[in-house]
Structure 1
Amino acid sequence: MRRFLPVLASFHLFSATPAITQELALAEVPLLTPGAEAGDTIGKYSFKLTFEASEIEGMNEVRQKFIDNGILAETLGEVAEQIALPQDVPITFTDCGEPNAWWMSEEKELKFCYELIALYNTGYEHIDSAEKEFLLQADRETVLIGTTMFILFHELGHGFVDIFQLPITGREEDAVDQFAAITLIESDEEDDELHERPSRMALIGAYFFHQLAAAPDSITRHILANEHALGQQRFYDVMCLALGANEELYGPILALGLQMVDDSAQRHPELATEARVAEWLERTDDLNILPYRRAFRCANEYARYSASWNYMFDNFMVPQQD
């Protein structure tokens, strides 16, 4: 945008503070050339997964569980076989001293902290809120795998943006939440039961951030200015993608009131005036986990974000023909 704002471009806000100016200097703008950062061969390089021993209570049990069931290693192997990484990418589960997971740009490495896993190493069978409809049978192992998978793909999203110089727009944290959710959603098999579906992993993972979110009366400007959306917003955004991808499956769970109105309008079109439908939607909205005003938009949101990520996959994460 600087070419349109020559006056602002020459205005040095931090001219008296060179140290701050240096710290806030713009990063080099990527070229965003399709395929330029991809390796020369699909599947040549892989993710190097390591589970280090832990000193945190219960985490060596978790470590062994991940090693034994192999689900993370298998999933990462499948991802690596479909893209052209330019180098091997280490992914290390380790004690960090804080509950976190992050992509390390200079090292091209992903760290996943056991302290973070310890926060969700529990079952959700006790949940008695509306969310219990999709948390049904979400025992400790289900929550452990689902939440870890969602966070892992979120951080991999950051890694892919960095490695392949993906042309995302908007907030990167939102974009990689979409990547994580869409990757899991598009792994669903048509005949799978709800509890078997990877898409439920996305909902379980997003529910974790919903639980961690600050109460409305304790939200500060620092929380609002954070690069992440509020945990509650992230939860509803992922919910919308799941609904948009499969309204038949998730409509009765996430937007029951909306589905009831739609069914009534189809059975009795003579009664479904615009004013009456608007009244029905308001009266049944408490039955929706996802409010109907957002649920209306979800099919389009999913189609748009899915197409965008598939475009970046096809054009930036695999070699391109000259």
Structure 2
Amino acid sequence: MIVNYKKIISLHFFIAYLLFPTSIFANDMCQKIGEVVKGKWEFDDSRTFSFIAGQPKLILDNKELEISSCLVTRISALFFIDNNMVNIRFNSNRQPENIYINRKFYKVTQHTLSEPTEAPEHINPADHFVAHTSTNYPNLYQIMQREDIAKAFGTIAYKFSPQLKIETRECGTINAFYSPSTKIITLCYEYLDNGDKAIEQTYGDAPIPIKANMKTGILAGVLLHEIGHAVIHLKNVPLLGSEEDAADRFAYVMMYEFSSSDPERLRDMVYGNLAYTWSFRQDILTKILTGHSRYMDEHPITEQRYYNLICLAYGSNSELFGKLRSSSKLSDDRAERCTREFNQVREAVSKISWESE
């Protein structure tokens, strides 16, 4: 079964909500946006869309589709629904003006008012996500306690695998990990807090939306990396090489698939991920003192992970990441292979079976 990225979930839109408060995510806003644009809307070639209230659904061309996630701002609403990515752009009256479906543009031409029907709710987030109490990071704990955040994390876990769970907790160290024995992804509050500090220290003068995207990149990167480990385990994905490297590559491909419709945000996310990755490099004295032991860890060394990510990014969009390639001094020999590297990983991910375990 070939993977349908959009059917899994829009992870990027969820994570953006955590760190980009001008956006609104999850069921409540999906329902509210259904009220704002309720009725049947026609566009260019007589195609139509309308909303169903309750657990949000959309009727597109007379087909009922379940919305997996929403990102709503003052000027647009974005959804992932079954096989389609939909971006509705509003006019000054907060009414649909243009609609993009799978990167194709249409002009909204006619509106017929109709009353939406109710739809039932499904996944119980409590079965797939828990936020443990924290004395040292109360702000992060309060965020993770919120009902919409719990629903988002729970849905993410369930969509990748009904067996998977996600938890946030204090770990006493900067870390994130997946446990095959419990099938739980643990995101440590220390890791999330350290990522926030890394961006503030490196890009403190950057505009708030850019920093928000960078922090999104850090959270998306670690979450997708650990989901990569979970997928490898739960889906019995065969490997010829390092699992850590495979999880890194899985994470970037998924980040690209979820974010490529917004190139500037994807770029910021990659820069944030790179900044955090680079912050873990060892100084020369530490390298001397640790000797060869740093080469014995299952994780690739920081510098190698850093350049692998640059290569994947450049290979996915050489125009968007051309400046990154130049500033990082990625060699011509490696750069020439980056598109092939990205396509190989993307093809491998596309062949993972997403049928229930």
Secondary structure at the aligned position of 1:102 is classed as strand
* Residues in 2 aligned to 1:297 and 1:136: alpha-carbon distance in whole angstroms: 34
Secondary structure at the aligned position of 2:320 is classed as helix
Partner of 1:53: 133
Partner of 2:355: 318
Secondary structure at the aligned position of 1:162 is classed as helix
Aligned residues: 234
Q: Which moved more, 1:173-182 or 1:107-116?
A: 107-116
Partner of 2:176: 101
Secondary structure at the aligned position of 1:122 is classed as helix
Query: What is the Cα deviation at residue 141 of structure 1?
Result: 4.0
Partner of 2:38: none
* Residues in 1 aligned to 2:313 and 2:263: alpha-carbon distance in whole angstroms: 15
- Asked if the contact 1:45/1:88 (under 8 Å) is kept, the reply is no
For residues 52 and 125 of structure 1, do their structure 2 counterparts lie closer, same or farther at Cα, with a shift above 3 Å needed? Answer: closer
For residues 180 and 201 of structure 1, do their structure 2 counterparts lie closer, same or farther at Cα, with a shift above 3 Å needed? Answer: same
Query: What is the Cα deviation at residue 201 of structure 1?
Result: 2.4
For residues 97 and 163 of structure 1, do their structure 2 counterparts lie closer, same or farther at Cα, with a shift above 3 Å needed? Answer: same
For residues 247 and 230 of structure 1, do their structure 2 counterparts lie closer, same or farther at Cα, with a shift above 3 Å needed? Answer: same
What is the TM-score with the length of structure 2 in the denominator? Answer: 0.57
CA RMSD of aligned residues (A): 3.4
For residues 288 and 159 of structure 1, do their structure 2 counterparts lie closer, same or farther at Cα, with a shift above 3 Å needed? Answer: closer
Partner of 1:236: 307
Query: What is the Cα deviation at residue 193 of structure 1?
Result: 4.8
Q: Which has the higher helix share?
A: 1
Moved over 3 A (4+): 42-47, 63-76, 78-81, 123-128, 135-144
Aligned partner of 2:286: which letter?
A: S
Aligned partner of 2:293: which letter?
A: H
Q: Which structure 1 segments of 5+ residues have no match?
A: 1-33, 35-41, 257-286
What is the TM-score with the length of structure 1 in the denominator? Answer: 0.62
* Residues in 2 aligned to 1:226 and 1:73: alpha-carbon distance in whole angstroms: 35
Q: Percent identity?
A: 22
- Asked if the contact 1:123/1:139 (under 8 Å) is kept, the reply is no
Partner of 2:166: 91
For residues 70 and 308 of structure 1, do their structure 2 counterparts lie closer, same or farther at Cα, with a shift above 3 Å needed? Answer: same
- Asked if the contact 2:157/2:164 (under 8 Å) is kept, the reply is no
Secondary structure at the aligned position of 1:121 is classed as helix
For residues 126 and 218 of structure 1, do their structure 2 counterparts lie closer, same or farther at Cα, with a shift above 3 Å needed? Answer: closer
Partner of 1:255: 325
Partner of 1:292: 332
Secondary structure at the aligned position of 2:186 is classed as strand
Task: Verify: 1:204 aligned to 2:241, yes or no.
Answer: no
* Residues in 2 aligned to 1:69 and 1:95: alpha-carbon distance in whole angstroms: 20
For the pair shown, which has the larger CA radius of gyration, 1 or 2? 1
